[in-house]
């Protein structure tokens, strides 16, 4: 049963709303702690597929950690910024429910700040299909640390849905994956009177508001900043970076294998051969 209030835009509508605020999203959203990136991927260089990659906030960090990265994102406006931010990455408009990759072709699938938007049954089956034996799915969210009263008040204004990690339970419950591990890291974001407006505009609930409602909400954000900010010195928002991962359960029924001649698509690559792409992004 849906927990949405009457008149609230459907989750699918909100999930597809980010293109209209792609610039604000890229300017305002926090990045991820380096230690968290290492934990998500397991450390050593791997072939990584990022789903729902947005504007490339995590993508840039994955590449800088030495991984061969491929990215998908359903919104073209978001992906355009990713291509500018991380031009060396192959990227394609695609959904988590229809991944354009060969069976058993990637070491890690990573999802940052997006798993709650997926059709979890379809997406988890697709992710299990593309993971190599022993590969894993990793999920991450930056959630404001609302144990602090003023941060909780900011959450009342901005909304909490984009940092809601309860959808990770779908991974924990999936028979396609083994036992789920989880950990947390501390993260801080410096913002000022202008960037806090971008932070608000980048939220899915703000993006689907009417003009008058949005103006009223943005005014409330500025009033909050004037109460709690430090003028030109801005403010630091504390985050808890919540990370989850689970290894795929190997099974012949999940895939015919990348060497099966009946498998469509390009040959599997480790990311070092530019003539052979792991994902058909041509």
Distance between CA atoms of residues 234 and 192, nearest Å: 4
Local structure of 135: helix, strand or coil: strand
Distance between CA atoms of residues 4 and 64, nearest Å: 39
- The whole-number average pLDDT for the span 18-46 is 84
The per-residue pLDDT for range 70-122, each reduced to its tens digit, is 999 999 999 999 999 999 999 999 999 999 999 999 999 999 999 999 999 99
Give the range among 53-57, 148-152, 187-191, 208-212 with minimum mean pLDDT: 208-212
Distance between CA atoms of residues 245 and 168, nearest Å: 9
pLDDT band, residue 252 (cuts 50/70/90): low
CB 277 within 8 A of CB 187: no
Q: What percent of the chain has pLDDT over 90?
A: 55
> How far are the Cα atoms of 75, 79, 161, 262 from residue 94, in angstroms, in the given order?
8, 10, 23, 23
Joined tokens for residue 1: 């049963």
The secondary structure of residue 132, as a DSSP letter, is E
95 Cβ contact partners less than 8 Å away, ≥ 6 residues apart: 72, 74
Taken in order 127, 118, 23, 92, the sign of the CA dihedral is positive
Label residues 3-30 b or e (16+ Cβ within 10 Å = b): eeeeeebeeeebbbbbbebbebbbbbbb
CB 131 within 8 A of CB 137: yes
Joined tokens for residue 11: 């989750």
Local structure of 201: helix, strand or coil: helix
Q: In what order do the strands lie in the sheet with 47-51?
A: 90-92, 68-72, 47-51, 106-112, 131-144, 235-247, 181-191
The per-residue pLDDT for range 138-192, each reduced to its tens digit, is 999 999 998 999 999 988 888 776 668 999 999 999 999 999 999 999 999 998 8
Distance between CA atoms of residues 201 and 61, nearest Å: 24
Q: Domains, the chain, ranges and CATH?
A: 11-254 (3.40.50.150)
pLDDT band, residue 133 (cuts 50/70/90): very high
Q: At what angle do helices 76-85 and 57-64 cross, to 10 degrees?
A: 30
CB 246 within 8 A of CB 181: yes
CB 107 within 8 A of CB 135: yes
């Amino acid at each position: 049963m849906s927990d949405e209030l009457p008149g609230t835009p459907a989750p699918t509508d909100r999930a597809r709303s980010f293109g209209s605020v792609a610039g604000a999203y890229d300017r305002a959203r926090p990045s991820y702690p380096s230690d968290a990136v290492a934990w998500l991927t397991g450390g050593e260089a791997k072939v990584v597929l990022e789903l729902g990659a947005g504007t490339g906030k995590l993508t840039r960090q994955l590449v800088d950690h030495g991984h061969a990265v491929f990215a998908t994102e359903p919104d073209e406006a978001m992906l355009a910024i990713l291509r500018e931010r991380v031009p060396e990455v192959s990227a394609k408009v695609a959904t988590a429910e229809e991944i354009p990759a060969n069976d058993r072709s990637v070491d890690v699938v990573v999802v940052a700040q997006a798993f709650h938007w997926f059709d979890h049954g379809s997406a988890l089956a697709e992710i299990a299909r593309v993971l190599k034996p022993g590969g894993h799915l990793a999920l991450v969210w930056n959630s404001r640390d609302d144990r602090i009263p003023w941060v909780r008040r900011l959450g009342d204004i901005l909304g909490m849905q984009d940092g809601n990690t309860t959808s990770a339970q779908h991974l924990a419950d999936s028979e396609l994956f083994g036992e789920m591990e989880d950990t947390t890291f501390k993260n801080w974001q410096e913002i000022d009177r202008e960037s806090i407006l971008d932070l608000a505009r980048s939220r899915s609930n703000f993006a689907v508001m009417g003009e008058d409602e949005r103006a009223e909400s943005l005014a409330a954000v500025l009033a909050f900043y004037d109460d709690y900010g430090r003028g030109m010195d801005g403010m630091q928002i504390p985050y808890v970076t919540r990370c989850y991962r689970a290894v795929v359960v190997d099974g012949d029924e999940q895939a015919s294998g990348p060497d099966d001649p009946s498998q469509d698509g390009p040959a599997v690559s480790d990311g070092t051969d530019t003539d052979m792409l792991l994902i058909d992004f041509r």
